[in-house]
Structure 1
Amino acid sequence: MTNEPVCRAVSEISFFCRLNLNQKLDLPVRKSELGTLFYLHDTQEEITPVAVSEFLGISRPCTTALLKRLESRGYISRKPSPVDGRSYTLSLTPCGVQLVIAAQKECSRTIALLQKELGPERFRLLLELIEESNAALRKNLRLR
């Protein structure tokens, strides 16, 4: 016997993610790279490669490769960490900032569609639930 609510939840969440991932964006970077650029843009404190790895939930070798691609394309720069001489901090270049602004415009179509279809109150609730869900899943990842 299957657990119908669990099956439905898995199916709906997976479908929502696939629809979002399959959305065509006219941008020169992958969505994982774009997530990194958004993270650097929206975070006030100094960001290290370890912080990017933890934020994205990916391995450090994958993070290193991703950051090298972004740096080689001129979207990010790095400088030695003022705290730890062995590490470095990351920042967006002017080119990276321009790409984030362009990406925000591209992504705003999907957000506007969801806001229109759900209405402002339900859209706000959706964001709150996604934020809470992300926090719970991140916490679970750290416990392993």
Structure 2
Amino acid sequence: MTDETTEGDNGVLAAIHAMQDAEALFRARLRRKLGIGASELAAVQFLARLELRGADARPVDVAAHLGISTSAMSPVVVRLEGRGYLVRRPDPADGRGIRLALTPAVHAAVLAAAGGDRLGALAGVAGLGDVESRRLVVLLAGVTSGYADGAAPDVLLPAS
């Protein structure tokens, strides 16, 4: 690991980069253990975050989140269904559409693959005090904002 400390950051950038590297490695290992690809894992993670908020999604919503077309989303859904990780449910709002829901099987598989802790890598933040939590939220909001603003969706780079 290189020393990425720049003046005034006290190693924060190096810590963020190390976290990003560890998360990428974790995702690769999780994909391998679950037998799914990157798009499938991203879909599972997105649906899991929605689940925590008591929400679900249509395939078109997941496709938009992943940045893929709805036709590219169809095989993702089929593969996840085939592994028993996802079910399609009728959309109660219109009866014709479908909503996607994760199964207990995927929750159990992720839990086992991640080492048995429901929070996994995030377990360390559960015990933070109020002051530490507020500081961390501000830091993460700044990083999130930087990502959100850093790759404007409507700007195309010129072909080289």
| TM bin (shorter chain) | 0.5 to 0.7
Q: Which residue of 2 aligns with 1:8?
A: none
Larger RCO (CA within 8 A; separation ≥ 6): 1
Change (3 A) 1:103 1:41: farther
- 1:58 and 2:76 aligned: no
Residue 92 of structure 1, CA deviation: 0.8
Deviation, 1:17, is 7.1
> What's the secondary structure of 1:51's corresponding residue?
helix
Q: Deviations over 1:26-49 (max 9, x none)?
A: 522223211211111121213110
Normalized against structure 2, the TM-score is what?
0.57
Query: Residue 30 of structure 1 is aligned with which of 37, 43, 50?
Result: 37
- Count of aligned residue pairs for this structure pair: 125
When Rg is computed on C-alpha atoms for both structures, the one with the higher figure is 2
**2:94 and 2:88 mapped to 1: Cα distance?**
14
CA distance in 2, matches of 1:45, 1:136: 26
Q: Which runs of 5+ in 2 are unaligned?
A: 1-18, 125-131
Return the structure number with greater helix share. Answer: 1
- Where structure 1 has 5 or more consecutive residues not aligned to the other structure, the ranges are 1-15, 113-119
Under a length normalisation based on structure 1, what TM-score does the superposition of the two structures give? Answer: 0.62
Q: Determine the C-alpha separation between the residues in 1 that align with 2:110 and 2:139.
A: 23
Query: For the aligned residues, what is the CA RMSD?
Result: 3.6
1:135 aligns with 2:148: yes
Q: Residue type matched to 2:140 in 1? A: L
